[in-house]
């Protein structure tokens, strides 16, 4: 029985039971209605039916006024035709309640020669009565069976009580994921480590001949969107061995012991199909540190983790089983899970560099129609910090814009607009208010001016007063290479660049006319300055780390920790941060004042065009002052 008919039956059965119950309860009433209808049919249409007592009925018989009698309901009712002297001796239909079908009454009617007829009680056939008595229990039992079968087919239903301890892992004897190592780009080091895992499974003798042992676990660590799950799919597609895949959250249930039972069942099935691979995504859902919760932690999760630790490297071996797990929170994992013998390898899957981004773009552009003058290298240079998922989304957004604009191929404009949309949000309506537009233009030109004139700052890429997201205007800076290490001069230049908008408002409109537009910039400035003082040792307090890593509070581990910094040191930190920001702001204001004429010219151009790219900005600015590292200017998107 398919789901559609099962749903129909679940509606029909209760209705049928209600109808049958109603028929059982109101059967007598229906029979009475039938009797009344029969009685009514015996009455003449022109004669009125009245009632008469039994004693008066006998008097009418003795007086010879009764002409005929029809008896119903086994002698309980009678319809009598009698001559009524009050109605000019006309024949009248009269209803009489009899005490029963007494032989004396029948004999008296015979003696008086009165015509009478006894009508038998209408009864249902015996078969129909038996069926009516059995139908209600049968429908009730059938409905209960159907409900039980439906509950068994639903997760967590009564029939699933014995299935709680079974693993929910998806199993494939030969996983056809459609992903190979050739489809994974930008993570060359991680891919090399995982290719060895596949070789272990296909040619174990290559390693065992020199005494090497197959690794028991590989932990993929990296930010979201860097390709951890994609790598697992590639391993499954390349290895050609049985493959189990599930999420860490699928182990844990509200009932204590269920997760541990699922772990045992998972490894039992894996041992029956070894050599095999087990992929656990988001393992931090089950592998968090034990005893780190308020009140000792969650017993179900900890028992599940204990069972997982035992199965990975316990008293019994699990040769031929390789576990691959992925997480972006390695800091919360239990130390016993991270030791050699369980997860022997930790593979870092980080955001790709420019070469990695280029290779990722080549993979995702295979099915895209690109314009001839669009260079993938320029896109890779335009997108520092983008992960593989971000780049795939970028090309997809560019393709959507191309279709929306009814073009045949993706051009530079679509890619540039897609980058802006991903980074800053959707484009809003252009500003029409002259004063607000001019103020925002000065703010954005202030950012771009400081960033261009400082040698250590990243080159400006684009300045616009078209609103995007929550921002009314934006200034983009693009590094000319991937920066792994940042110098003190670069951090100071970034602080000054962030203060450029407020400095421009201050110089042009005065201290009383500065706006809240610099709120986000000031937050960035405070964060960078405090990290320079407390984390990187770039202040007069010396090369001392005065604060720990700014991570999320982990209950049970960080909730009760105390700061090792005294109140006096805290005051000195605040003073150093304040002095550093004041010094940077003073220098920023000085640069803006010395280049006021160039700023006014650039603001006029920006208000007219609404968007200026980095090349045009530097060209105009170079007419008024010299620009350091002018050759570092990067266009919005270069062509081939």
DSSP 138-172: HHHHHHHHHHHHHHHHSTTSGGGGGGTTS---EEE
Specify the 3-state DSSP secondary structure of 407.
coil
Cα–Cα distance, 201 to 187 (Å, whole number): 22
Cα–Cα distance, 309 to 528 (Å, whole number): 41
| CA dihedral over 597, 598, 603, 609, signed as positive or negative | positive
Give bridge partners of residue 84 from the DSSP assignment: 90
Ramachandran region of residue 341, left (φ > 0), alpha (ψ -120 to 50) or beta? left
Cα–Cα distance, 244 to 241 (Å, whole number): 10
DSSP 294-350: TTS--HHHHHHHHHHHHHHSSSS--TTEEEEEEES-GGGB-HHHHSTTTS-EEEE-P
Q: Which of 302, 444, 505, 616 is catalytic?
A: 444
The answer to whether the beta carbons of residues 506 and 589 sit under 8 Å apart is yes
Work out the end-to-end distance of the chain between its first and last CA atoms, rounded to an integer number of angstroms.
Answer: 63
Q: What are phi and psi of 456, to 5 degrees?
A: -85, -5
Q: Decide if 444 is catalytic.
A: yes
Specify the 3-state DSSP secondary structure of 486.
coil
Q: State how beta strands 611-613 and 460-464 pair.
A: antiparallel
Q: Which residues are catalytic?
A: 444
């Amino acid at each position: 029985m398919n789901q559609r008919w099962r749903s129909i039956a679940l509606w029909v059965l209760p209705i049928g039971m209600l109808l049958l119950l109603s028929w059982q309860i109101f059967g007598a009433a229906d029979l009475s209605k039938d009797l009344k209808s029969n009685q009514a049919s015996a009455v003449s249409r022109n004669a009125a039916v009245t009632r008469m007592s039994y004693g008066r009925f006998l008097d009418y018989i003795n007086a010879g006024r009764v002409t005929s009698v029809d008896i119903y309901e086994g002698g309980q009712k009678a319809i009598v035709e009698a001559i009524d002297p009050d109605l000019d001796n006309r024949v009248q239909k009269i209803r009489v309640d009899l005490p029963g079908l007494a032989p004396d009454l029948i004999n008296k009617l015979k003696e008086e020669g009165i015509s009478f007829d006894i009508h038998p009680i209408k009864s249902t056939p015996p078969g129909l009565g038996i069926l009516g008595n059995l139908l209600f229990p049968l429908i009730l039992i059938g409905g209960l069976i159907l409900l039980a079968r439906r509950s068994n087919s639903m997760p967590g239903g009564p029939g699933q009580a014995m299935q709680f301890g079974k693993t929910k892992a998806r199993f494939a004897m030969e996983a056809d994921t459609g992903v190979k190592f050739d489809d994974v780009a930008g993570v060359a080091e991680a891919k090399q480590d995982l290719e060895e895992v596949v070789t272990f499974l296909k040619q174990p003798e290559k390693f065992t001949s020199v005494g090497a042992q197959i690794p028991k676990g590989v932990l993929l660590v990296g930010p979201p969107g860097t390709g951890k799950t994609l790598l697992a799919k590639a391993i499954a597609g390349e290895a050609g061995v049985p493959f189990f895949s599930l999420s860490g959250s699928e182990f844990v249930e509200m009932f204590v012991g269920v997760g541990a039972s699922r772990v045992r069942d998972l490894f039992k099935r894996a041992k029956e199909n070894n050599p095999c691979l087990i992929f656990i995504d988001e393992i931090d859902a089950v592998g968090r540190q034990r005893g780190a919760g308020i009140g000792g932690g969650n017993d179900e999760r900890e028992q599940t983790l204990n069972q997982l630790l035992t199965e990975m490297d316990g008293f019994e071996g699990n040769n031929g089983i390789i576990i691959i797990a992925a997480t972006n929170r390695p800091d919360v994992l239990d130390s016993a899970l991270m030791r050699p013998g369980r997860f022997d390898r930790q593979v870092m899957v980080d955001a790709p560099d420019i070469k990695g981004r280029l290779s990722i773009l080549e993979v995702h552009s295979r099915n895209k129609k690109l314009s001839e003058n669009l260079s993938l290298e320029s896109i890779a240079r335009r997108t520092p910090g983008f992960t593989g998922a971000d780049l795939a989304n970028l090309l997809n957004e560019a393709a959507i814009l191309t279709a929306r604009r009814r073009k045949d191929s993706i051009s530079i404009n679509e890619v540039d607009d897609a980058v802006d949309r991903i980074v800053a949000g959707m484009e809003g309506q252009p500003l029409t208010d002259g004063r607000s537009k001019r103020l925002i233009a000065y703010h954005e030109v202030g950012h771009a001016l400081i960033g261009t004139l400082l040698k250590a700052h990243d080159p400006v890429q684009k300045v616009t007063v078209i609103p995007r997201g929550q921002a009314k205007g934006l200034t983009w800076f693009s590094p000319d290479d991937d920066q792994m290490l940042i110098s003190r001069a670069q951090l100071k230049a970034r602080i000054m660049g962030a203060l450029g908008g407020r400095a421009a408002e201050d110089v042009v409109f005065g201290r009383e006319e500065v706006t809240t537009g610099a709120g986000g910039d000031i937050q960035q400035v405070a964060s960078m300055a405090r990290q320079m003082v407390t984390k990187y040792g770039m202040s007069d307090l010396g090369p001392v780390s005065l604060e720990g890593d700014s991570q999320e509070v982990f209950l049970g581990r960080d909730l009760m920790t105390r700061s090792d910094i005294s109140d006096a040191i805290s005051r000195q930190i605040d003073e150093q941060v304040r002095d550093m920001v004041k010094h940077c702001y003073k220098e920023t204001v000085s640069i803006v004042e010395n280049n006021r004429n160039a700023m006014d010219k650039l603001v006029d151009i920006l208000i007219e065009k609404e968007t200026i790219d980095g090349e045009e900005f530097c060209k105009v600015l170079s007419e008024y002052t010299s620009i350091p590292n002018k050759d570092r200017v990067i266009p919005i998107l270069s062509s081939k």
